[in-house]
Structure 1
Amino acid sequence: MMAQPPYRKPFTLYIQSKIQSGLRFCSEIWFRQGTLILGRYHIQQRLGRGNYGVAYLCKDQHTGQPCVLKRISPLKGSKSRSRWIYDQETNMLGRLNHLGIPTLLEPFTYRQHLSFTMQYMEGENLATLLFHKNCTYTELESLQLISKLLEVIGYIHSVGVVHRDISLTNVIVAGDMVKLIDWGLARDLRGVTPNENDLEPLEIEGGHASENVLRRRLHRSSDFYAIGHLLLFLLYSTYTEDKNASTAKNMGWDEELNIHPHTKRLLRCLLEMEQPFGQAQDIILEIQRILQSLTDSD
């Protein structure tokens, strides 16, 4: 059999990518700014696109309140996978009930697009606060914020759910409240006994493979690992590099950060460098002990 010309495969992939781009462009036409969906949801702006869908800020004409419309549109996978992703997220949101989690409003199909609306969570995400508004968090403030986030995590773990996508963009701060959004990767573990390293097809996309495995495990430890990285980002917001230190480039976070020894141990456990935590409540109690030590030392 004659071998394919070397240009054939790249050219085919190029055409396929153009077709996919065209389909995505056509989809956006039906969800552009100013569109009224179902005679109820008035699209104000696009909030962002992820691997599994597009989110829009809307105004609910029935209530006058803002809400979020999400259209499931995975970058990879078939229509059956789109349906599976859609069912996972809507079923998940439909059974969770917590002030720190958006409430599912209405699942529907619009012009053959699997969509749903949910509560808009007021506040700003940590990525915006840290990198655009240059907010800083002391060790005390960082631990307090993480403790509030763990209250949300403790709730979802108690009902058999793992989030698997805790990140700076998905944690919202609104005054004294901490909220968690984007439940596309969350999974219901009730009645399931997966190997903690099991991953779903197409789950790992980009990034370092070993770290993605730790973040995406079908096990609550994946949420604790992600929280460890989140805490590091917060602690580094007040870090000032010592330009005179000749060994600074070779130092790790445990040497660079001037934090309480118990906070360092907390981080090592979260990042699984030492015996990891088993329950969110155990981490909350440890943080409370550290906060008491920090307060007593002032």
Structure 2
Amino acid sequence: MWWKRLSEKSFDLAVEQFIAEHPHFTFQTFLGYGSYGRAYLIEASSSKQQYVLKCLRPKHRRHQKTIDKFKQEIHILQQLPLPYVPSIHTTGAIQGIPFYIMDYINGQTFEQLIFQDGAKFTVAQSLAITKQLLAQIIAIHKHGIVHRDLRIPNILLVNQQLHIIDFGLATTFKPNIDLATIDNPKQAPNHISDLYFIGHFLLFLLYSNYEPRSQKEQAWQHELHLPMDVQNFLERLLWIQEPFTSTLEALQSIPH
């Protein structure tokens, strides 16, 4: 059976062959992979505009739950006609493995900016970036979606504007959840999850400008020496203090 023989390397060749059979596009390069998907850069033959072809990893091709999750990601992206979320243009299957083609966001992730380029962000800059991110997440929540993976590899900067990618863990927003029933804020299907991730995102920005004063590692509250209103804001995002009741409240509470 073909599915027993299909390795990821041979599937890469299948993707290249698939693109070669569709003259509207040309294959550019393999971009990388995550837990569930593989991504390839392709280019429109006429306009030279670049796109990303994302498909399920071959090892998951017989896992119906994972297939359903991948298809849910497609459905979620189709519900988000927002300028900072990639739009889907085509869906299909290659050797029975689902894929979709979406916009290519030509920017740098905050992971690249901080750890490759050595970018440093002041407290004021970090709060301004967080404010922009919160405003974007409010719009996503209004469309009934929670991202649940707002980490530094999934947030890009393009001409000082943020873009959000990788909705593989996104789910439908469920209002009116009793916070006492939430065991893991990362997985909460409401604003708590996204705010928790935004708290850690903000910490990465703030630590980019941190110079250790001793070899002994301490809690971030002691290492960063933040203004008290910024520390309190962070602790509410991170569930250390009473959490915000909504993303809008978090945005309205961001220190100036």
- Scaled by the length of structure 1, the TM-score of the pair is 0.77
Q: Distance in 2 between matches of 1:193 and 1:249?
A: 42
> Secondary structure in 1 aligned to 2:153?
coil
| 2:127 counterpart of 1:152 | no
Give yes or no for the alignment of 1:219 onto 2:190: yes
SS at match of 1:64: coil
Instruction: Identify the residue that residue 261 of structure 1 maps to in structure 2.
Output: 228
Structural mapping, 1:131-146, within 5 Å? 131-146=115-130
| 2:11 match | 27
Match of 1:294 in 2: none
1:236 matched to 2:207? The reply is yes
Q: Percent identity?
A: 27
Q: Is the 8 A contact 2:61 2:97 kept in 1?
A: no
2:149 paired with 1:165 = yes
In structure 2, the partner of 1:44 is 28
Number of equivalenced pairs = 254
Partner of 1:178, secondary structure, is strand
Tell me the equivalent position of 1:284.
251
What does residue 274 of structure 1 align with?
241
Counterpart among 96, 107, 110 of residue 126 in structure 1: 110
CA–CA distance in structure 2, aligned partners of residues 123 and 111 of structure 1 = 31
Q: How does 1:59-138 map to 2 (within 5 A)?
A: 59-73=43-57, 75=59, 78-138=62-122
Whichever residue aligns with residue 96 of structure 2, its letter is Q
Q: Deviations along 1:91-143, whole A, 9 cap, x unmatched?
A: 11111111111111111112322110011112110000000000000000001
Letter paired with 2:67: R
> CA 1:258 to 1:165, structure 2 compared with 1: closer, same or farther past 3 Å?
same
User: What does residue 8 of structure 1 align with?
Assistant: none
Cα–Cα, structure 1 residues 159 and 149, in superposed 2: closer, same or farther, change >3 Å? same
Letter of the 1:225 counterpart:
Y
Q: Quick check: 2:120–2:209 contact (8 Å CA) kept in 1? A: yes
156-165 or 105-114: which moved more? 105-114
Kindly indicate whether the alpha-carbon contact (under 8 Å) linking 1:198 and 1:217 is maintained by their aligned counterparts in 2: no
Stretches of structure 2 lacking an aligned partner (at least 5 in a row):
none
Displacement of 1:80 after TM fit? 1.8
Amino acid at match of 1:153: I
Contact 1:171–1:181 (8 Å) recurs in 2: yes
Q: Structure 1's 214 and 171: CA in aligned 2 closer, same or farther, altered over 3 A?
A: same
When normalised by structure 2's length, the TM-score is 0.89
CA shift at 1:61, angstroms?
A: 2.3
Contact 1:34 1:44 in 2 (8 A): no
Q: Distance in 2 between matches of 1:233 and 1:164?
A: 17
Contact kept in structure 2, 1:197 and 1:218, CA below 8 Å = no
- Evaluate the alpha carbon distance shift between residue 197 and residue 133 of structure 1 in structure 2; reply closer, same or farther with a 3 A threshold: farther
Between the aligned partners of 2:6 and 2:58, the Cα distance in structure 1 is 15
State the SS of the aligned residue for 1:31: helix
CA RMSD after TM alignment: 2.6
Larger gyration radius, structure 1 or structure 2: 1
In 2, are the aligned partners of 1:196 and 1:219 still within 8 Å (CA)? no
